[in-house]
């Protein structure tokens, strides 16, 4: 397993995401993911499954210190007092004294960004959070967040896949020492059936999905979130560290990007995206 070092955080480069996973799926699949070797688990308050994630980690027999655990504060909890209380509630559900990474889930809010970043710093100083980060921020908002924060920002978690360039976000992340955590890498089901990705996979004895996970983690400072509700697919998602893509293959995959490649774009939450 690769590790991405970003502003003091050592993040396993391949994570297990729990977006849209009901408790029953978390309780069924996450234990198997941990047995397989996943050590980075990503959840959020809005997913409604923090308690199930906490149950699995607590019952896994794996030392808490060996698991990198991320959660995210939802937008309705951004006012200061609600923010701090929501973090305490998340920790209670997750059955832990701290999370390794806490993110602001979306940028658009009536609560000033300075107040939100201040609350992130406050819970970090209190020892409830080891590292802080942001999610779905544009490059301009990344720069603003960095200026407002006393503590370094470890990551910006954003939609990223072969059909969506994130050049400006990646450049800003590298300029400020943070990582990019990629979600929606399968592009809502487009990746597994893509002819180019299947062709590249065939050369390596891998699937198109494995090619894209490898494409992500092979990039500097990029963390990849994988997700499946199918236990039999877990080994496929995890088995991406025994091959490498050539420079030509990496460029060919980058070449799939298109102007309308963005999938996740809720107007009431999203920023003005980078071109």
Q: How far apart are CA 237 and CA 224, in angstroms?
A: 10
Element (DSSP H or E) covering residue 203 = helix 195-204
Length of the chain: 275
Contact yes or no for 156/135 (Cβ under 8 A): yes
Q: Show which residues are catalytic.
A: 47
Q: How far apart are CA 218 and CA 44, in angstroms?
A: 26
For the chain, how many helices (H) and strands (E)? 10, 10
Radius of gyration of the chain (CA): 18
Beta strands in 13-170 (DSSP E): 14-17, 40-42, 68-73, 101-104, 132-135, 153-159
Q: How far apart are CA 133 and CA 123, in angstroms?
A: 12
Residue 156's nearest CA partner among 147, 139, 148 is 139
Q: How many CA atoms lie within 13 A of 177 on its CB side?
A: 11
């Amino acid at each position: 397993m690769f590790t991405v070092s970003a502003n003091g955080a050592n993040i396993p480069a391949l994570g297990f995401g729990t977006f849209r996973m009901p408790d029953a799926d978390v309780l069924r699949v996450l234990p198997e993911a941990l047995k397989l070797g996943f050590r980075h688990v990503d959840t959020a308050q809005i997913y409604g499954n923090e308690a199930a994630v906490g149950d699995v980690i607590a019952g896994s027999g794996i030392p808490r210190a060996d698991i990198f655990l991320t959660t995210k504060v939802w937008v309705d909890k951004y006012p200061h007092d609600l923010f701090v209380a929501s973090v305490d509630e998340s920790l209670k559900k997750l059955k832990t004294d701290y999370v390794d990474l806490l993110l602001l889930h979306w940028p658009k809010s009536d609560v000033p960004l300075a107040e939100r970043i201040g609350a992130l710093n406050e819970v970090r100083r209190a020892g409830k959070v080891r590292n802080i980060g942001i999610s779905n921020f544009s490059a301009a908002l990344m720069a603003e967040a960095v200026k407002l924060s006393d503590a370094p920002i470890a990551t910006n978690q954003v939609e990223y896949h072969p059909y969506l360039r994130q050049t400006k976000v990646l450049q800003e992340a590298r300029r400020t020492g943070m990582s990019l955590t990629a979600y929606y890498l399968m592009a809502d089901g487009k990746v597994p059936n893509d002819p180019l990705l299947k062709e590249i996979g065939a050369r390596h004895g891998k699937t198109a999905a494995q090619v894209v996970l490898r494409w992500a983690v092979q990039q500097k400072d990029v963390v990849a979130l994988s997700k499946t509700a199918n236990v039999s697919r877990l080994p496929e998602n995890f088995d991406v560290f025994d091959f490498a893509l050539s420079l030509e293959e990496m460029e060919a995959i980058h070449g799939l990007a298109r102007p309308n490649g963005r999938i996740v774009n809720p107007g009431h939450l999203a920023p003005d995206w980078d071109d």
